A and B are shown apart, each in its own frame.
Chain A
Amino acid sequence: MLKIILPTMMLMPLTWASKPNMIWINTTAYSLLISLISLTYLNQLSDNSQNFSMLFFTDSLSAPLLALTTWLLPLTLMASQFHLSKETLTRKKLYITMLILLQLFLIMTFSAMELILFYILFEATLMPTLVIITRWGNQTERLNAGLYFLFYTLVGSLPLLIALLHTQNNLGSLNFLMMQYWTQPLPNSWSSAFLWLACMMAFMVKMPLYGLHLWLPKAHVEAPIAGSMVLAAVLLKLGGYGMMRITTLLGPLTSSMAYPFMMLSLWGMIMTSSICLRQTDLKSLIAYSSVSHMALVIVAVLIQTPWSYMGATALMIAHGLTSSMLFCLANSNYERIHSRTMILARGLQTLLPLMAAWWLLASLTNLALPPTINLIGELFVVVATFSWSNTTIALTGTNIIITALYSLYMLITTQRGKYTDHVKSIKPSFTRENALMALHLLPLLLLSLNPKMILGPIY
């Protein structure tokens, strides 16, 4: 694991010491190399974990997320080049340093072997993200967005700290390897209910759960492109990953305590998908679509069946790539017309046909078209919830339909029809942008050929 962590840490001196015209090239190239190293972890040979030290390990659950995280850093760097081009050199280097710091914390979070280490790094990821959102966002609402983001997550995760410390007192160690053997079933009492709530609320806020999702549209919309990409693709998955890890401690209580959150997620899926149909702001639409997809993951993690865990893992990876790609596409629109309103940039297919192809593919993966991994994830989760209770198919089926509706609505509004008159003078697509979309889509399509590596430890 040090072979990933140390190079990522050294990317920071690299940015500060590079010549001004080489900062982007150096960081993008070296971060791509680091991501190639992390791809080796995808070769999980058994259902045990690969333990590197007492602190770090990779599992078939954390390896795909790790690969996603490291893959995303070069992509975020490529996406940020344009909007930072007018900043001073120091600010550019600061921005890149924030991204690298965030990447470092994320890598360590996904490979942490101990829950307290995981918690510390989980909180640490908030700081670079907050700086990125509040300093480099575009509108004045970014301050409010940063506030919501920070305090929702902090308030949710403070009980988690207390719960983890209490559990460590009881069990002696929170190391993942030993947790599997030492956990006892939680007794049926009020204090276990509070323990369950304390453990889960942090991740519920992060995912986000429907009732606690207010920070997400604000943070995603106000963040600059790299912030949106990392938020949507990786930080949300921290919640899912944390939930899957911590439910090992929470015994048989989950089957009864999970009901309110299941209801919130199942109903919230439909609510947020429906809100997507009424959005005028493009980034806001993609943000609400993230809430909807993550609600499926919450449902999957709470019912705790083999198929649902496989679906949750696949859905997390698939959604990470798809959502990040959609934000990049929205950003390519924003850089040209400086407005996020969807109806202002219509009919782009006539003007930018290659970008229209990427829009089409991103929308198709967002609506879970077979044989992409999005479909595999969603299908596994839907089938598992059907076996949990037959009536859920009404809700999940409606959600799939509405997802298709708003994905196609977004596609048709931005691509089809007659272009708006003032859009004729936009810049053509840069090679950098096309490369960005291709690099997002390539793992997505390749994983459709071999999805077993993202199906998690249950496969």
Chain B
Amino acid sequence: MSFPKYESSRLATQPATLDPAEYNVSPEARKAQAERLAIRSRLKREYLLHYNDPSRQGLIEDPALIRWTYARSANIYPNFRPTPKTSLLGALFGFGPLFFWFYVFKTDRDKKEKLIQEGKLDRTLSISY
């Protein structure tokens, strides 16, 4: 029996030793991999030092998380620059829906008002208004 060649799924990658591309990596790529590994292990060492520190009270400060929350909440406007694209997007999605809903509700209510003026709308049992 011959099975089809194993293909890894998109989210579950193969281990590096089974990937044929691993064996032809250039020295620069190897150096980059080593640098990234050094950064990762330094961060992990710092985390473990904080984690196992018996005099630690409270949470471990992650500067990346602090920067991320700051960027998400308090640092948006200083990095905003009005360009044609942002102005168009702002007008379209900011004011557009308001005008759209204004049009929808005005026509609906005017239609209803016309029916009421003509006496055609049956409001005899309407108590919850």
Contacts and interface: CB of A to CB of B under 8 A. Distances in A.
Interface of A: 141, 259-260, 262-264, 266-267, 280-281, 284, 305-307, 336-339, 341, 344, 383-384, 387-392, 395, 420-423, 425
A422 to B, nearest CB: 4
B50 to A, nearest CB: 9
B69 A281 contact: yes
A391 B105 contact: yes
Given A337-B58, A341-B65, A391 B108 contact: yes
Contacts of A259: 102, 105-106
B101 interface: yes
6 contacts: A266-B101, A341-B65, A341-B69, A421-B51, A422-B51, A425-B58
A280 B73 CA distance: 8
Contacts of A337: 58-59
Contacts of B74: 141
B112 interface: yes
Given A260-B102, A264-B98, A391-B104, A384 B129 contact: yes
B57 A425 contact: yes
Given A267-B97, A425-B58, A392 B105 contact: yes
B72 interface: yes
Nearest to B111: A389
Nearest to A384: B129
Interface of B: 51, 56-60, 65, 68-69, 72-74, 97-98, 101-102, 104-106, 108-109, 112, 126, 128-129
A259 B128 CA distance: 21
Contact of A307 (B72, B97, B101, B129): B129
A280 B104 CA distance: 34
Contacts of A266: 101
Contacts of B56: 422
Contacts of B109: 388-389
B117 to A, nearest CB: 15
A267 B101 contact: yes
B129 A263 contact: no
Contacts of A391: 104-105, 108
**Chief secondary structure at chain B's binding surface:** helix
A148 to B, nearest CB: 12
A422 B112 contact: no
Contact of B101 (A281, A390, A395, A422): A395
A65 B59 CA distance: 40
B52 to A, nearest CB: 11
A7 B57 CA distance: 43
A140 to B, nearest CB: 9
Nearest to A306: B129
A280 B69 contact: yes
Contacts of A341: 65, 69
A128 B72 CA distance: 30
A308 B121 CA distance: 21
A422 B58 contact: yes
Contacts of B112: 389
A263 B101 contact: yes
Given A263-B102, A263-B105, A305-B129, 8 more contacts: A267-B98, A280-B72, A307-B128, A338-B58, A384-B128, A389-B109, A391-B104, A395-B101
A391 B106 CA distance: 11
A37 to B, nearest CB: 36
A263 B98 contact: yes
B104 to A, nearest CB: 6
Given A280-B69, A280-B72, A307-B128, A423 B59 contact: yes
A389 B108 contact: yes
Contacts of A306: 129
A383 B129 CA distance: 7
B88 to A, nearest CB: 19
Given A305-B129, A388-B109, A339 B101 contact: no
Contacts of B102: 259-260, 263
Q: Which of B68, B105, B106, B109: most chain A Cβ within 10 A?
A: B105
A284 B97 contact: no
Contacts of A395: 101
A344 B59 contact: yes
A264 B95 CA distance: 9
A445 B100 CA distance: 40
Contact of B108 (A262, A338, A390): A390
Given A141-B74, A263-B98, A339 B59 contact: yes
A319 B128 CA distance: 23
A124 B77 CA distance: 31
Nearest to A342: B69
